[in-house]
Amino acid sequence: MIPGPFTYHRPGSVADAVRLLADFGDAARPLAGGHSLVPMMKLRLATPDHLVDLHAIGELKGIERQGDRIVIRAMTTQQELLASQEIASFLPILHEAALQVADPQVRYRGTVGGNVANGDPGNDMPALMMTLGAGYELQGPDGARTVAARDFYQGAYFTALEPGEILTSVSVPVPPAGHGYAYEKLKRKVGDYATAAAAVVLTMSGGKVASCTIGLTNLSETPLLAEDAAQAVVGTSLDDAALKKAADAARAIMEPAGDGRGPVEYRTYVGGIMVARALKRAAARAA
């Protein structure tokens, strides 16, 4: 199908983009990578009268370290994430996960900001950002504010973004040196959303887990933090009993939809397996 008619805008600054979105209200949509919006427009599931293209805004691009945090600008592509030495050195789980986002064609166009701001429960980056304790910088008609990734997702495609606001950057605290990490993703084929996926960031001390955070992708209408599952392994050497307890605790909060990736029972079961695998691989990487 062909999208409906719309007026195209290409602002050169965040201030201009915010002004356009505020002026046109619900009739306008921002365009980042376009992998979600453009197909919806083709199917007439989204019919914006105004399209605000963010690609000409230089201040929305780039990755830099600021003190103890890595700042990823919203229009940074997944491929640029993969090419970044800062990401490879300090946030290797994002490098590992970006390699599993769709396929190379999508990664060269898809943006980090679009991935985290869209509210799609199948996107890979939201659960990772929650696991890493990231914050989202939002800019709108009333100025700038920061929202924790853990507080951003309210339902499928519903987020904390207010009318006229755009996400301008993601700020991620640098994990401690020697941390372990893993992103385990089960999918039907290259380019597909996860049937189930789990992100783990942990530290080890004396052969036991000292701290742990676990995030879950596409196992509910929002990304999830499996806090009870993470707490279940703290103080353990990740023996089989601890891994089972963590997997069971993670399954207890999963509410996946039954779809072409499998029925609810299957997706919940393999979700627990992803948690156990990610825990084991993260522990093996921890120094």
Residues 65 and 38 in one domain: no
Residues 169 and 65 in one domain: yes
Nearest to 246 by CA among 271, 223, 263: 271
Residue 77 domain flag: yes
Residue 76 domain flag: yes
| Residue 15, CA distances (Å) to 1, 50, 76, 140, 160 in order | 33, 17, 19, 8, 20
Residue 78 domain flag: yes
Q: For position 287, what pLDDT does the model report?
A: 75
Residue 63 φ/ψ region, left for φ over 0, alpha for ψ in the -120 to 50 degree band, beta for the rest: beta
Question: Which ranges in 73-136 belong to alpha helices (H)?
Answer: 78-83, 85-90, 92-98, 104-109, 112-117, 125-132
Residues 65 and 146 in one domain: yes
Residues 25 and 72 in one domain: no
Residue 158 sits in which domain range?
58-173
Residues 150 and 104 in one domain: yes
Interacting residues of 233 by C-beta distance below 8 A, sequence separation 6+: 202, 209, 212, 242, 243, 245, 246, 279
Residues 38 and 74 in one domain: no
CATH number, domain containing residue 104: 3.30.465.10
Residue 32 domain flag: yes
Q: For the whole model, what pTM was predicted?
A: 0.95
CATH number, domain containing residue 47: 3.30.43.10
Q: In whole angstroms, what is the distance from residue 24 CA to residue 58 CA?
A: 23
Residues 235 and 198 in one domain: yes
Residues 78 and 12 in one domain: no
Residue 1 domain flag: no
Residues 20 and 80 in one domain: no
CATH number, domain containing residue 264: 3.30.390.50
| Residue 160, CA distances (Å) to 11, 119, 122, 136, 240 in order | 23, 10, 18, 10, 39
Q: Which residues of 263-274 are buried (b: 16+ CB within 10 A; e: fewer)?
A: eeeebbebbbbb
pLDDT 10s digit of each residue in the chain, 287 long?
788 999 999 999 999 999 999 999 999 999 999 888 988 899 998 999 999 999 999 999 999 999 999 999 999 999 999 999 999 999 999 999 999 998 888 899 999 999 999 999 999 999 999 999 999 999 999 999 999 999 999 999 999 999 999 999 999 999 999 999 999 999 998 889 999 999 999 999 999 999 999 999 999 999 999 999 999 999 999 999 999 999 999 999 999 999 999 999 999 999 999 999 999 999 999 97
Residues 69 and 161 in one domain: yes
Specify whether the CB–CB gap between 236 and 223 falls below 8 A: no
Q: In whole angstroms, what is the distance from residue 77 CA to residue 79 CA?
A: 5
Taking each helix axis as running N to C, give the angle between helix 264-285 and helix 240-251, from 0 to 180 degrees, rounded to the nearest 10.
Answer: 140
Residues 215 and 258 in one domain: yes
Q: For position 190, what pLDDT does the model report?
A: 85
Domain count, the chain: 3
Q: For position 69, what pLDDT does the model report?
A: 98
Residues 70 and 147 in one domain: yes
